[in-house]
Amino acid sequence: MNHPIIDETHDTARQSWVEAAQDHADFPIQNLPLGIFSREGQTPRGGIAIGDMILDLPSLTLTGLLKGEALDAASTGMNKTLNALLALGPAPRGALRRQISALLEKNSPHRREIEPLLVPMADARMHMPAFVPDYTDFYAGIHHATNIGKLFRPDNPLLPNYKHVPIGYHGRASTIRASGAPVTRPSGQTRAPDAQAPSFGPVKRLDYELELGVWMASGNALGQPIPIADALDHVAGLTLLNDWSARDVQAWEYQPLGPFLAKNFLTTVSPWIVTMEALAPFRRRQPPRAKGDPRPLPYLWDDSDQRRGALALDLEAYLSSVKMREAGMAPLRLSHGPASNMYWTIAQMVAHHASNGCQLQTGDLLGTGTISGPDDGSRGSLMEITRNGKQPVSLPTGETRTFLEDGDELMLSGRFVAEGAIPIGFGPCIGTVQPALTAPASR
């Protein structure tokens, strides 16, 4: 299994000559996430975040400062996606991280050569970090699964298979977008509880889901499973993910085959990939299963993964209405909780996905499913928070919400925090709800 080591790039004493990187909430020198950006009139290209700046990878390759595998990795940054870089695997990715960390380190003799290659984030547009061949969303948050189950099956919230197998469904890769893309309210077919027949129109129960996105670095040949001990060798890194959901459409369509149009209209990801190398100090023991829970089958169990399969990561979701923003009010925190609330590890999800020989590919995106906690302040969707609309959320303006309204801005954030490590994060994952589009007139 891939065990990225804790090395000089994680040193808590290491600082950067990029002043904005000092004490940056998300992008200190200990992070160095990968992304795709562009400036006005330029084509998208690879970059690395440092403070509130972006290091231009294609320009860096021309300086002659990078060597060996690091140069090979940086050279792929000339592409419009990071797929080629991700496909190289952990060794070149780690080499690039170490050499760039040294170049940006406070005492680096190369500041004069590197400084002109930095682009202010305020002047850049972020793009999807990779082309996504396929997208799968899991259901790894046991508290979310339990909370949702209680709404419909109070006496039997978790179905019998949940603790035996990582549940998931295939989503729609073509509708994944980077943070900031508008969230157009979808229309769909629904049936009100008191109606005899369904109707079609803008959805009324638009919801968010607080998740992590897992970026695949390398895949597997068709028919060849990925052993769980090797699963994280196939993972490049993580982002935040919001699987927007139309709960009224979902209630009407999901039986017998599961999510479809209620889920495939938009999925938002934070645009920076926090690499597995950056996450090395934040890997923790997977919380033990409850007494009486079944032990997973051998293909889903690895002792090493149980020792380091969880993440020291705090997740949050915030809501801001139009009135709140006009009044200059801070967003309202809807939920807060640790990623350790996941019942299944990332390695277990990858291993299960490929266990039947399904071919995973570079750039594939896996969602963890909504990560909720056991208490009211840690629920990762409005459906849970409002008990399916029965208990509205009060906003500081006097407004209330059961589900998202037009103009609402929803932001996810995540921060890795552990003793003996400098905290790092993803940057924001934001979407603002726009009114539904008017259907074109029939000819």
Q: Where are the domains of the chain?
A: 8-127, 135-434
pLDDT in tens, 241-292: 999 999 999 999 988 888 899 999 999 999 999 999 999 999 999 999 999 9
Each residue of 157-188: pLDDT tens digit? 888 899 999 999 999 999 999 999 999 999 99
Cα–Cα distance list, 260 to 127, 151, 244, 256, 301 (Å):
26, 20, 12, 11, 31
Q: Is 153 annotated as ligand-binding?
A: yes
Q: Is 19 annotated as a binding residue?
A: no
Q: Is the sign of the CA dihedral 260, 254, 372, 353 positive or negative? A: negative
Cα–Cα distance for residue pair 267/250, rounded to 1 Å = 15
DSSP code per residue over 86-123: HHT-HHHHHHHHHHHHHHHBTT-TTHHHHGGGEEEGGG
Q: What is the rounded average pLDDT of the residues 49-59?
A: 97
- Amino acid 238 reads L
**Is 263 annotated as ligand-binding?**
yes
- Is there a binding annotation on residue 250? yes
Nearest CA among 226, 224, 298, 278 for reference residue 97: 278
Nearest to 139 by CA among 272, 254, 18, 10: 254
Average pLDDT over residues 237-241: 98
Res. 4: pLDDT tops 80: no
In terms of CATH, what superfamily is 135-434?
Answer: Fumarylacetoacetase-like, C-terminal domain (3.90.850.10)
The architecture of the domain spanning 8-127 is Roll (2.30)
To the query of whether residue 234 is one of the catalytic residues in this protein, the response is no
**Across 39-193, where does the E strand assignment appear?**
45-50, 53-56, 118-120, 125-127, 135-138, 168-170, 176-178, 183-184, 187-190
pLDDT one-digit tens code per residue, 337-353: 999 999 999 999 999 99
Mean pLDDT for 294-323 is 97
User: What pLDDT was estimated at residue 3?
Assistant: 64
pLDDT above 70 for 443? no
Look at residue 15 and tell me whether its pLDDT is greater than 70.
Answer: yes
Predicted confidence at residue 5, as pLDDT, reads 86
26 is in an annotated binding site: no
Q: What is the pTM of this model?
A: 0.96
Residue 267 bridge partners (DSSP): 176, 243
Compute the average pLDDT of residues 291-298: 96
Q: CA 16, CA 30: separation in Å to the nearest integer?
A: 9
Q: pLDDT averaged over the chain? A: 95
> Does 384 appear as a known binding residue?
no
- Cis check for the bond before 256: say yes or no (omega within 30 of 0): yes
Confirm whether residue 139 is marked as ligand binding: yes
| From 24, 144, 234, 353, the catalytic residue | 144
